[in-house]
Amino acid sequence: MTLLEAAAALRRSETSSAELTAAALERIERLNPSTNAMQTVMAEAARERAKQADQELARHEGRGPLHGIPIAVKDLFLTQGVRTTGGSRLFENYVPDHDAAVVELLRAGGAVLIGKTGMHELAYGITSSNPHFGAIRNPWDRDRIPGGSSGGSGAAVAAGMVSMAMGSDTGGSIRIPATFCGVVGLKPTYGRVSRYGAMPLGFSLDHMGPLTRSVRDAGAVLNVIAGYDSRDETSSRRPVENYVPDLEPSLHGLRIGLPENFYFERLDPDVDAAVRAAFQAAESRGAEIVPLRVPDIAAINTVARLILMAEASALLEPHLEHRDRFGADVVALLDQGRLLPATDYINAQRLRRAMQGEFAELWSRVDCLFTPTAPITAPRIGETTVTVGAENEDVRLAATRLVRAINALGLPAVSIPFGADRRGLPIGLQIVGQPFAEALILRVAQALVPEEVPVPPL
Partner 1 sequence: MNNDRTNVCSTVCTKDWKKIARASGLSIPAAALDRIAQSLDALEADFRPLARALPPDTEPAIVFHAATLTAGEDAE
95 is a site residue for partner 1 (CB under 8 A) = no
Active site residue 173: yes
Query: Among residues 252 and 353, whose Cβ is nearest to partner 1?
Result: 353
Active site residue 149: yes
* Neighbouring C-beta atoms of residue 350, cutoff 10 Å: 11
Query: Among residues 270 and 358, whose Cβ is nearest to partner 1?
Result: 358
Alpha-carbon span 150 to 198, nearest angstrom: 13
Selection from 167, 148, 154 nearest residue 213 by Cα = 154
356 is a site residue for partner 1 (CB under 8 A) = yes
Shortest Cβ distance from residue 362 to partner 1 (Å)?
16
Q: What is the DSSP string of 391-429?
A: EEEEHHHHHHTTTHHHHHHT--EEEEEEEE-TTS-EEEE
Among 173, 194, 204, 313, the active-site one is 173
Give 77's strand partners.
198
Q: Which of 354, 365, 391, 423 binds partner 1 (CB under 8 A)?
A: 354
Query: Among residues 292 and 299, whose Cβ is nearest to partner 1?
Result: 299
Among 17, 74, 88, 235, the active-site one is 74
Q: Which of 63, 302, 450, 454 binds partner 1 (CB under 8 A)?
A: 302
For residue 199, give the DSSP letter. P
352 is a site residue for partner 1 (CB under 8 A) = yes
Selection from 218, 235, 223, 124 nearest residue 171 by Cα = 124
Shortest Cβ distance from residue 314 to partner 1 (Å)?
13
Alpha-carbon span 202 to 190, nearest angstrom: 12
Site residues (CB under 8 A) for partner 1, limited to 203-242: 204, 230, 233-238
Query: Among residues 30 and 350, whose Cβ is nearest to partner 1?
Result: 350
Between strands 134-135 and 129-130, the pairing is: antiparallel
CA distances from 128 to 132, 150, 455 (A): 11, 7, 21
Q: Specify whether the CB–CB gap between 73 and 103 falls below 8 A.
A: yes
Among 129, 149, 150, 235, the active-site one is 149
Tell me the backbone φ, ψ of residue 73, rounded to 5 degrees. Answer: -130, 150
Query: Among residues 7 and 395, whose Cβ is nearest to partner 1?
Result: 395
Give 392's strand partners.
387
Shortest Cβ distance from residue 347 to partner 1 (Å)?
4
Binding mask 183-202 for partner 1 (x = CB under 8 A): --------x-----------
Query: Helix or strand or coil: residue 262?
Result: coil
Q: Specify whether the CB–CB gap between 204 and 311 falls below 8 A.
A: yes
Active site residue 17: no
CB neighbour list of residue 105: distance below 8 Å, 6 or more residues apart: 224, 225, 227
Binding mask 259-298 for partner 1 (x = CB under 8 A): ---------------------------------------x
Site residues (CB under 8 A) for partner 1, limited to 317-336: 331-332, 335-336
Shortest Cβ distance from residue 257 to partner 1 (Å)?
21
How many residues in the shown chain lie near partner 1 by CB under 8 A?
A: 34
Alpha-carbon span 411 to 399, nearest angstrom: 18
Catalytic positions are 74, 149, 173
Q: What residues line the site for partner 1 (CB under 8 A)?
A: 191, 204, 230, 233-238, 298-299, 302-303, 305-306, 309, 331-332, 335-336, 338-339, 344, 346-354, 356, 358
